[in-house]
């Protein structure tokens, strides 16, 4: 569980900090170890981290002449 939480948190933080990424979405991976939600609809530890992560603004336009 902790390994899933840490892995998804690191991936989300990397995507949030990448200047060339405006938006992203994670999908429910095929492998059970990488699932965001279980077959019964409940969230996995990774799914809870993804749900609770507050993303920054995806695009900030630079003003001309500044």
pLDDT at 12 over 70: yes
- Render pLDDT for 24-64 as a digit per residue (tens, 0 to 9): 888 776 677 678 888 899 998 889 999 998 888 777 777 76
Q: Quote the pTM value.
A: 0.70
SS (H, E, C) 28-48: CCCCHHHCCECCCCCECHHHH
More confident residue, 56 or 15: 15
CA distance 17 to 19: 6
pLDDT the model gives residue 3 = 86
pLDDT the model gives residue 56 = 82
Residue of 40, 18, 16 whose CA lies nearest to 28: 40
């Amino acid at each position: 569980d902790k390994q899933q939480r840490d892995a998804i948190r690191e991936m989300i933080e990397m995507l949030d900090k990448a200047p060339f990424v405006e938006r992203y979405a994670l999908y429910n991976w095929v492998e059970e170890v990488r699932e965001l939600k279980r077959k019964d609809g409940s969230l996995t530890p990774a799914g809870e981290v993804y749900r609770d992560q507050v993303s920054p603004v995806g695009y900030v336009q630079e003003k001309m002449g500044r």
